[in-house]
Amino acid sequence: MSAAPVAHADPRTRCDRTTAWGRLQAHYARVGRCFDLGAAFDAEGAARVRHFSQQAPHVYADLSKNLIDVRAEALLLQLARECGVQQQRDAMFAGAAINHTEGRAVMHWLLRKPPQTKAGQGLYAIDLVADALREVHATLDAMLALAEQVRGDSAITDIVNIGIGGSDLGPSMAVKALDDLRPQGKTLHFISNVDGMELGSLLRGLRPESTLFLIASKTFTTAETMTNAQAARDWFIAQGGTDVARHFWALTTNRPAAAEFGIETTLGFWDWVGGRYSLWSSIGLPIAIAIGADHFRQLLAGAHAMDEHFRTAPLEQNLPVRLALLDVWYRNFHGFGSRCVAPYSHGLRRLPAYLQQLEMESNGKGVDAAGEPLPYATAPVVWGEPGTNGQHAFFQMLHQGPDVIPVEFIALRRPGRDLPGQHTRLVANALAQAKALMRGRASPDNPHRHFGGNRPSTFLVLDALTPEALGALVALYEHRVFVCGAIWGINSFDQWGVELGKVLAQGLEPRLASGDASGLDASTASLLQRLL
């Protein structure tokens, strides 16, 4: 199911080796370090909002409350051009092997491309892309047919997705976000942790005859996933289940291993689909079961609209680019080490966790594409909780703590299905927090009540939490991560940093059974003995 990726010459220039980098350092020292948001609004008023806001497909962004002026923006755009962002973007959309450490193309964008697009148009006049697109839609049609089969089967009431990382975070986030579309009588569950408490507590409330398990593992060897899958099958058989093939399906490319497990229904995907970019592939089967085939196609359409915006819009009005440039400005010049994501939507409550993997696994790298150590920071820590919960937890630190932490608010113009009368209060809180962070409040007589203000924030608005809007929002973040990686000169599509711990765990597991601590460092040996 894979074709050889297109060879390409790497167009990138590392950011610290550009002319713009030095100019940005000088501008930060002269203007950026002491930039005053309140003064900027007093001087520029609505013109500032017009300049630093824009509508992209399904997402409106107000960037005006950020610590940035027109000159800094111009220099950041110069930086993007000098780093070859446009050329790197075009290489991705041409099917080039931009994941050079693994020799793979990066084509998650193809998973949401409509089938009617003809080869021979612009960047898509490439056999690799045209052939892959046909395979994509054959797999998509098969997946959506299976999803509709489950939705129409009244005997199946519970669907349990067993996966980890990208096989869990993306589908879980999307299913929760679009819960208004889930049919009555179907409940989706997500199991990822190898801690037996997670799966065990779920199984106590399930019946084997009404449960479908989806085993999501590209290789069908992922340790945590296969441990949980085996435990689920053991439970199924112990509870009297007799038809493993009906109640266990696999999302994998390793069909022989799935067949050995007893699985007959499998859906595969491609090596150019990274795990954290895979919710658009057959890994999205639980999403399709939850929202239906038509709505899943709308999810893809929203993402494709953002793909086309990213591919074609000028850098000055390209929202993924503008957000990424803010990230670089804050990380490498202001020195801000984290970013808070605050979705004022219960449906988006798992978005911060999803973004943690998307951003930190993609761009948490310490060497450049050539393997040279980087002298500057890359991915910030991404964290957050939905509003208004976060206001009663960590907003104290955002307002009055010594660290400046940019905040990303996400709000919906229209409420969801339930209790729509509460939506006005929810949105009012989001607006109030962004205003308070910017303006603050002086308290000369009581420093404990003083709010210094000048705390930056971005405000994203969706018309409603629809499949199209969610697709566009997720694609926006994907392309933002790509642009940051392109500027930092790193490979955003490998994840070698997850390997070492897994390898060491394989060696330590038998030691926990035997008690053998020989050859271990003193701390690990002591902890092993304590955990026996």
The residues carrying an active-site annotation are 361, 392, 502
Cβ 391 vs Cβ 511: under 8 Å: no
Within 10 angstroms of residue 146's Cβ, the number of other Cβ atoms is 19
What strand order describes the sheet that includes 187-191?
Answer: 187-191, 158-162, 211-216, 248-251, 266-267
Q: Which of 475, 476, 490 is nearest to 363 (CA)?
A: 490
User: Measured between alpha carbons, how far is 201 from 179 in angstroms, rounded to an integer?
Assistant: 22
Helices 522-531 and 499-514, axial angle in degrees (round to 10): 50
User: Measured between alpha carbons, how far is 467 from 461 in angstroms, rounded to an integer?
Assistant: 15
User: Measured between alpha carbons, how far is 341 from 410 in angstroms, rounded to an integer?
Assistant: 8
Number of H helices, E strands in the chain: 21, 11
User: Measured between alpha carbons, how far is 462 from 182 in angstroms, rounded to an integer?
Assistant: 20
Element (H, E) at 341: strand 338-343
- Residue length of the chain: 532
Within 10 angstroms of residue 45's Cβ, the number of other Cβ atoms is 10
Rg (CA), the chain: 24
- In the DSSP assignment, the letter for residue 422 is G
User: Measured between alpha carbons, how far is 5 from 106 in angstroms, rounded to an integer?
Assistant: 9
- In the DSSP assignment, the letter for residue 380 is P
User: Measured between alpha carbons, how far is 295 from 301 in angstroms, rounded to an integer?
Assistant: 10
DSSP alpha helix (H) spans, 351-466? 351-355, 362-363, 395-400, 423-439
User: Measured between alpha carbons, how far is 1 from 102 in angstroms, rounded to an integer?
Assistant: 17
Output the six-digit token pair for 88: 């790197």
